[in-house]
Amino acid sequence: MTVRIVTDSSCDLRGDEVADLNIEVVPLSIRFGDDEYTDREQLSVERFYELLANSDTLPETAAPSPGRFAESFQRHLDAGATAVVCVNISAALSATMQSAITAADSMDADIRVVDSTSITVGLGSIVIAAAEAAKNGASVDEVVAIAESMSARTHVFGALDTLENLQKGGRIGGAQALLGSMLSIKPLIDISTGEVHEAGKQRTRKKSMIWMRNNLAEFGEIENLAIMHGEAPDIDDFVALISEVADVSEARTEVIGPVVGTHGGPRVVGYAFTVPE
């Protein structure tokens, strides 16, 4: 049995990571006003942040069409895959999962769609684990079980520099209470359940980073630590701070791409990890 992995571009995996594990990434679309771009194909991460800094219009994201997923699934099947596992951004945050399900239902093949209940590097870690298992010969049931187990154990936390993007994009969710003092705080969010929830609030960026360090320490033993940032100029300071409580030597550090960056805004820092079974 040959199992292949598909995901979407909110996973924030680098090109080399995708290529090494034969992962196919289906892109979402990013719209700045009347200009629409296909993530990673027509819009690089660097260009996205340039546009974000210079645009008066808040960008919007759009899920891939079912057809785009179907094309991806078919490419793997044509290449000899006997099953495809598609792991996507949290269904509570995007219509991407529904597009993947619609595509899978339209095809006469063994295609499993898994809700990661996660985003960015959290999703990326789940996808990597699934792809490594598939590469090592795991069955489709085993790959799905790994993805679902990791999804249930993955935590994602972020320290925003602004709430403007999250609010205007309609993804504020359970963090609505933060809005009253939006201009005077540095919001902390927890996306571990697949929805955005308030985790805390601090008055300065430094204090928000210290909160992130202390929060990580409270979990004790962790696995698959991955660090994320929205082109934050102080990312090295953040990594150094959390290295006081966790081993960062094996941690992936990724720049948040356009899909999540649209809602999180610039200069966000955060991490994802899994707790042991």
Question: Of 107, 132, 152, which marks where a domain is finished?
Answer: 152
Taking the mean position of all CA atoms in its chain, how far away is CA 19?
A: 18
- Within this chain, do residues 91 and 18 fall inside the same structural domain, yes or no? yes
- Within this chain, do residues 185 and 253 fall inside the same structural domain, yes or no? yes
- Within this chain, do residues 233 and 134 fall inside the same structural domain, yes or no? no
- Within this chain, do residues 148 and 190 fall inside the same structural domain, yes or no? no
- Beta-bridge mates of residue 62: 29
- Within this chain, do residues 10 and 117 fall inside the same structural domain, yes or no? yes
- Within this chain, do residues 182 and 140 fall inside the same structural domain, yes or no? no
d(CA 52, CA 35): 13
40: domain CATH number? 3.40.50.10170
- Within this chain, do residues 159 and 111 fall inside the same structural domain, yes or no? no
> For residue 254, what are its two tokens?
């990724």
Question: Of 152, 173, 208, which marks where a domain is finished?
Answer: 152
- Within this chain, do residues 44 and 178 fall inside the same structural domain, yes or no? no
**pLDDT computed for residue 72 by the predictor:** 98
> For residue 235, what are its two tokens?
């990312």
SS3 for 156?
strand
Question: What's the domain count of the chain?
Answer: 2
Burial of 170 (0-12, 13-18, 19+ CB in 10 A): exposed
Question: Of 131, 152, 173, which marks where a domain is finished?
Answer: 152
- Within this chain, do residues 139 and 160 fall inside the same structural domain, yes or no? no
Query: What are the mean pLDDT values of the chain's consecutive 10-residue runs (277 residues total)?
Result: 95 93 96 94 95 85 97 97 98 97 98 98 98 97 98 97 62 53 76 94 93 97 97 97 96 96 91 96
- Within this chain, do residues 237 and 185 fall inside the same structural domain, yes or no? yes
- Within this chain, do residues 12 and 139 fall inside the same structural domain, yes or no? yes
Query: What's the pTM?
Result: 0.92
d(CA 124, CA 116): 10
What are the backbone dihedrals phi and psi of residue 25, each rounded to the nearest 5 degrees, phi first?
Answer: -110, 120
d(CA 136, CA 272): 24
**pLDDT computed for residue 57 by the predictor:** 76
Q: What range does the domain containing 40 cover?
A: 3-152
**pLDDT computed for residue 164 by the predictor:** 64
Task: Give CA separation, 60 vs 30, 37, 55, in Å.
Answer: 6, 10, 12
- Within this chain, do residues 10 and 139 fall inside the same structural domain, yes or no? yes
Rg (C-alpha) for the chain, rounded Å, is: 18
